């Protein structure tokens, strides 16, 4: 069994950025997720950034013709 996590503030004077992740593993299954959010200031403009990634591995669905062993999702 494995459980791990991370949260970090990566901000600078011109940028506010937060990132974090988590990992969990139990027997045949493992789950991993990471994400970040930030606001960047450039003169009078503000830009927002967002990213998310997740992955689940392990025996999920077994059909007659195929076996699904994992799912991955990303958004940003």
Asked if the model's pLDDT at residue 43 lies above 90, the reply is: no
Domain count, the chain: 1
Q: Looking at residues 42-55, what average pLDDT do you find?
A: 92
Q: What is the pLDDT of the chain when averaged over all its residues?
A: 93
Asked if the model's pLDDT at residue 71 lies above 90, the reply is: yes
- Statement: the pTM of the whole predicted model exceeds 0.85: no
49, 16, 21, 17: which is closest to 35 by C-alpha? 21
Split at pLDDT 50, 70, 90, the class of 44 is confident
Write out the residue range of the structural domain in which residue 63 sits: 2-75
| Residues 20 and 5: beta-carbon distance below 8 Å | yes
**How far apart are alpha carbons 60 and 39 in whole angstroms?**
37
């Amino acid at each position: 069994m494995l459980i791990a996590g991370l949260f970090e503030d990566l901000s600078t004077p011109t940028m506010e950025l937060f990132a974090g992740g988590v990992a969990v593993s139990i027997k045949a299954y493992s789950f991993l997720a990471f994400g970040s959010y930030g606001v960047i200031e450039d003169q009078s403009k503000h830009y927002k950034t967002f990213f998310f990634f997740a992955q689940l591995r392990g025996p999920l669905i077994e059909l007659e013709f195929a076996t699904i062993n994992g799912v991955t999702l990303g958004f940003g």
